[in-house]
Structure 1
Amino acid sequence: MEILGRERRRCWTEAERLEIVAAVGVNGETLSRVARRYDVSRAQIYNWRHAFKKRGQLPASSSAIFLPVDIVPSPPQAAAAFEEPILSPSVVELCFSQGRRLRFDSGIESATLMRLIRSVEGA
């Protein structure tokens, strides 16, 4: 076997790395598509993202948004006879776009709640 030439190793600047990492998720871009577009391995993007997070240089996610929350008292049981029964005295209801609603107990674990929210938003 004969080796011709030297191995080509690219040297990415910090600005280029940050641009590549930040491109993931913009307009629905997946990590795999960004990696193919820049001809970089997915593992390399994960490593860069981890390093940026560790140094506090990763920009805030554009997908995270704050929504207004209204806290209203529960209706009297007689007036709510036709509605769904309240499962717990501390039920929280999130209203999403397109009329979707998610009701859950305030004692729910955060990881479970995040999975539920992603499921409702993705439906």
Structure 2
Amino acid sequence: MEILGRERRRRWTRAEKLEIVAAVGVNGETLSRVAQRYDVTRSQIYQWRHEFKKRGMLPAPPAPTFLQVDIGPPIFKAEPAFEDRIASPSIVELCLRQGRRLRFDSSIEGSTLMHLIRAVEGA
């Protein structure tokens, strides 16, 4: 970084700009915190990011990962602990990130289930 003249205008090299833009999101860093750390405005980071995207210098975001799921026959216990919680004999429990769980009937439509998963993951 170089400070020029009385106005104290800073000049950032391309490598420095890339470092600042790339720092956003690493280990949960927000754009505001990165801007404060490097003493730049948030709009400056947005402008640099747009500039680098236009030139194809930013890496593409990672593609979603799909995991194979095997669904076997339901397992019934002789004496269920919470009979009032069991709505039907084919309840499915899906464990999501951050310890979230979804319980739903196995007859749920796939599109409805996808909307439900996205809503829970986005919360």
| TM-score, length basis structure 1 | 0.59
**Residues 24-58 of structure 1: per-residue CA shift (max 9 Å, x gap):** 11111111110011010001111111222222221
Contact 1:22 1:59 in 2 (8 A): no
Partner of 1:68: 67
Match of 2:110 among 87, 92, 106: 106
- Give the secondary-structure state (helix, strand or coil) at the position aligned to 1:57: coil
The 2-side partners of 1:49 and 1:28 are apart by 18
| Structure 1 residue 8: Cα displacement | 2.0
| Structure 1 residue 72: Cα displacement | 2.7
- Give the secondary-structure state (helix, strand or coil) at the position aligned to 1:10: strand
Contact 2:97 2:121 in 1 (8 A): no
**Residues 41-90 of structure 1: per-residue CA shift (max 9 Å, x gap):** 0011111112222222213447x762523153785xxx7xx74458xxxx
Superposition pairs of residues 24-43 of structure 1, within 5 angstroms: 24-43=24-43
- Give the secondary-structure state (helix, strand or coil) at the position aligned to 1:68: coil
Partner of 2:122: 118
Partner of 1:89: none
The 1-side partners of 2:103 and 2:53 are apart by 33
Aligned-residue identity in percent: 58
Partner of 1:50: 50
| Structure 1 residue 96: Cα displacement | 1.6
Which of the two has greater strand per residue?
Answer: 2
The count of aligned residue pairs is: 108
Higher relative contact order by CA 8 Å / sep ≥ 6: 1 or 2? 1
Give ranges in structure 2 of 5+ residues lacking alignment. 77-82
| Structure 1 residue 7: Cα displacement | 1.4
Partner of 1:90: none
Amino acid at match of 2:67: P
Amino acid at match of 1:68: L
The 2-side partners of 1:52 and 1:94 are apart by 39
